[in-house]
């Protein structure tokens, strides 16, 4: 029973759910590189957009892109998600551990992982945030999904560097996925 729960628990810890900092630190989750993070984000974009659309349906006007993403856009997101999965799979398997990593082989695992990760990504979205998310999604439509993922990872890196400069040693440990330091 514990092994079957390892994958969802590890993925939720990785993405910073309600796990305590002490629990996350005890697990000593490995960091991911920026390219791995981009691959993970790209691989879960279709499910994340679906989740955002569901959460924001009542908060956006009927014509909002996030409420009804164009079919060709979602097809492109799904195709890029499948293409990004091999790179993402390695990172997810490494974070989830050797027992759960065996469950993450093959293309069939991508929608499963997306289905686990997307709700965690959008869990903090409030209806008041929906217009901003719709704007981001609308502006990102012409971009390849990997570019959108790259922008998100770059913003994440910037936020982490600012947070690190403002934090005390006790506050630097936090649950969630961490990016590996960039080596010059």
> How many other β-carbons are positioned within 10 Å of the β-carbon of residue 177?
20
pLDDT at 2: 31
What global pTM score does this model have? 0.76
Residue 142 phi/psi, 5° resolution? -75, -15
Sign of the alpha-carbon torsion through 118, 123, 126, 132: negative
Placement of tokens 């091999």 in the chain: 86
Would you give the distance in Å from CA 88 to the centre of its chain? 11
Q: Which pLDDT tens digits describe the chain residue by residue (184 residues)? A: 333 333 334 344 444 433 443 444 445 678 889 999 999 999 999 999 999 999 999 999 999 999 999 999 999 999 999 999 999 988 888 887 777 777 777 778 888 888 888 898 888 899 999 999 999 999 999 999 999 999 988 888 888 777 765 654 443 444 456 788 776 6
């Amino acid at each position: 029973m514990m092994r079957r729960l390892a994958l969802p628990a590890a993925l939720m810890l990785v993405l910073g759910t309600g796990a305590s900092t002490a629990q996350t630190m005890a697990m000593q989750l490995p960091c991911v590189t920026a390219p791995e993070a981009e691959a993970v984000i790209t691989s879960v974009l279709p499910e994340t957009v679906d989740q955002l659309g569901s959460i924001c349906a009542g908060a956006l006007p009927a014509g909002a892109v996030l409420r009804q993403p164009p079919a060709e856009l979602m097809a492109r997101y799904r195709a890029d998600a499948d293409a990004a999965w091999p790179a993402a799979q390695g990172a997810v398997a490494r974070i989830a551990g050797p027992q759960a990593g065996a469950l993450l082989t093959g293309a069939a695992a991508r929608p499963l992982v997306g289905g686990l990760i997307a709700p965690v990504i959008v869990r903090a979205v409030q209806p008041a945030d929906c217009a901003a998310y719709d704007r981001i999604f609308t502006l990102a439509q012409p971009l390849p999904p990997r570019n959108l993922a790259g922008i998100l990872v770059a913003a994440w890196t910037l936020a982490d560097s600012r947070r690190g400069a403002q934090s005390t040693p006790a506050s630097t440990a936090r649950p969630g996925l961490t990016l590996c330091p960039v080596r010059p």
